Chain A
């Protein structure tokens, strides 16, 4: 019943979407307002209709309906409720339905809000319907999650089959963060469809004014925020679950999420040049297009099996569909770009190399270079095999060697950009603004070198972090000082007033500071230590400042899995720090093993313990311990980045009227004069 209702809802959504798309195009071409209104309503209807399909699939999971192949393959009776909920997006079919649902949600919001965009909104809605149509075709005809499980009968025919229990959810996905990581990542990926739709609609319509770029920028920021959160959660999941002691392995699927993040970041910077100076219009439109194309490309990488990855879904014919869709989108972009190129002519030219505009240009170059290096490294095994016939691997050593210098350069530009003035910066102002940050940055590097830090990249990262921090702090200090002098407020009030007056600018600085904190956390990985040891009860493993003693070894069972648990006492000197309990589990339904990592986290370092296995000859457990310095800073930095994004999204308020100083009064007189009062 629920599967039939779900399938019907998908088909209904597909019909509504096809109508919204086709009627929308005809209405746009023939200028028919009634048809346009019906197309809009059809577009709005997709979200509630698909919601029915999603609720049906959840219902099938919660009621253990193993006659449905997707449910049987991704759940089992003893799977906790929490994970039955998350099982919806754990496989190819369900995650694509989930993708469609999120897209329909965005479309619903775009069509219900944005009334002030006039003609732009309906056309953006039509473009979103076009994207939605592709995904709904996949949901309905290629990878439907509502397919009934069948088996071959003795007479050779197919007949329905209901197994006694499901095959269970992949144990790696049975982790609280995995309930949130995919939705946030999808909200990011899918969210980039909205700026794409607005940018393409503006290009098609030659939309007058800069309003469309504000809308596009705002939506990009929302999608970027979600993508950042999704990437961070994925990194934390890898750290806390996979057990190899790291959080980023340059896996193709990780790379697929990083690429649109990099181009989206580039757009969020270069769009300021268009808003303020009417420059880089072609560049900006292509950045939005490329970001969307990279999102689709990432989905293709994850789902086609073209590159091997621990995160990828099973190989399926779906890859051809994505290649076709990518080519179609690219062709549409190229077509309208070639027809409307005149619309994207710059209004101003760059006046000086030492200017904010030039720093944005370089920042964009560096971000795109990083994106290209990641793309190139990810695809090189496929390219090399096609050209030479030999397979090669491109792993972390390649990505680290190519990308670390690029990211250090980016960190430098993060500090430099805000200190440069728009249009032109004089040498005097350059000297005034850069002297202290540079001295403190270099001083930090020298101090750390004296304190025996010898890793060049780490030294540069710490020095640049100090440099950028000083530039950011000085920006806040100068602004708050002016407000204090005007209003006599306290420092805290002045800072709050400053941020509220220009949330976008100061939110951006908060994001930059978050990136600095993250860079410090990443630089800490240069000093990782590790040790592996076979342990008896009572024996002690020493690593860095820690002594880890095995106190107990127990075995047990839950309805979902069988486990073996080690009880470890962690001491630092004479102080007993904590007890840790790493586990090895065997999940009953899937018969897949999982090792539960335990982490004692601190500001200075993490003690990371992994139950690596049991020596078959001695029967003793093997413990792998890591000391990972500064990892907590990475997560906190990520939190600051998200906080900055929220601040930047919050609407800023006009500066308060303060008529206390003579200067302010003089300005008021000037305004009165200008108004002709």
Chain B
């Protein structure tokens, strides 16, 4: 009896193994096809459609777009041919020029595109820091404390009004 059950199990295991062997290539192909599409999309997001719509290549949705359709096909061929993303992008640059890149490459003059906004913001920050320092120094020599408070009702009223204005009537 036990031997019969063991024999049946073995048959099931054998069938499952055989089934897995048959399905495996399809699964691998499906997975690799998904990975391929992912890769096309990932690289395509670094490229621009040049039909004038200014959209990312794989996001261009213009019907019969004269650029995005053929360009995506070129990209798919490049992705199929090269394992490196950089090489696939190089194929696109060779075909359409650097203008196909959605952002300027960080080399040569195009480096300026990336550096200038950062440099301008840093310059502004330094400028503000310098101005603050200068003003703070000037303020430091201006006597703040110890200055006599004038015993002037008009002055008191002005101070009161300023506080009122600052606090929106909450004081």
Contact = CB atoms under 8 A, between A and B. Distances in A.
B103 A350 contact: no
A368 interface: yes
Contacts of B117: 369, 372-373, 376-377, 402
Nearest to B159: A674
Contact of B109 (A308, A387, A670): A387
A424 to B, nearest CB: 10
A304 B35 CA distance: 44
Nearest to A312: B52
B9 interface: no
B168 A505 contact: yes
Nearest to A385: B99
Given A394-B104, A396-B56, A595 B63 contact: yes
B113 A394 contact: yes
Contacts of A377: 113, 117
Given A349-B139, A479-B170, A392 B54 contact: no
Nearest to B156: A674
B55 A244 contact: yes
Contact of A593 (B46, B63, B110, B112): B63
Interface in A360-393: 361-362, 365-366, 368-369, 372-373, 376-377, 380, 384, 387-388, 390-393
A498 B167 CA distance: 11
B66 interface: no
Interface in A93-144: none
Given A392-B101, A397-B103, A401-B103, A675 B125 contact: no
A595 B61 contact: yes
A332 B102 CA distance: 38
A33 B132 CA distance: 46
A209 to B, nearest CB: 16
Given A308-B54, A384-B113, A393-B100, A349 B121 contact: no
Contacts of B118: 402
Given A244-B61, A310-B54, A676-B153, A393 B113 contact: no
Nearest to B50: A393
Contacts of B114: 398, 402
Interface string B4-37: 0000000000000000000000000000000000
Interface residues of A, number: 72
A671 interface: yes
A164 interface: no
B103 A394 contact: yes
B81 interface: no
Interface in A333-364: 349-353, 358, 361-362
Nearest to A361: B128
A390 B63 contact: no
Interface string B149-171: 00001101100100010101111
Interface in B75-111: 97-105, 108-110
A398 B124 contact: no
Interface in A45-68: none
B170 A397 contact: no
B120 A369 contact: yes
Contact of A358 (B48, B103, B132): B132
A349 B103 contact: no
13 contacts: A242-B61, A369-B121, A372-B117, A384-B104, A392-B101, A392-B110, A393-B100, A393-B102, A393-B104, A498-B170, A613-B63, A652-B168, A671-B157
Q: In the A-B complex, list the 7 residue pairs whose CB atoms are closest, starting with the nearest.
A: A655-B169, A502-B168, A395-B102, A369-B121, A674-B157, A373-B117, A398-B103
Interface of A: 242-246, 249-252, 276, 308-310, 349-353, 358, 361-362, 365-366, 368-369, 372-373, 376-377, 380, 384, 387-388, 390-398, 401-402, 406, 422, 479, 482-483, 498, 501-502, 505-506, 584, 593, 595, 610, 612-613, 624, 652, 654-656, 667, 670-671, 673-676
Given A390-B97, A482-B170, A652-B168, 11 more contacts: A353-B136, A362-B128, A365-B121, A366-B121, A373-B117, A392-B98, A394-B103, A398-B104, A402-B117, A498-B168, A501-B169
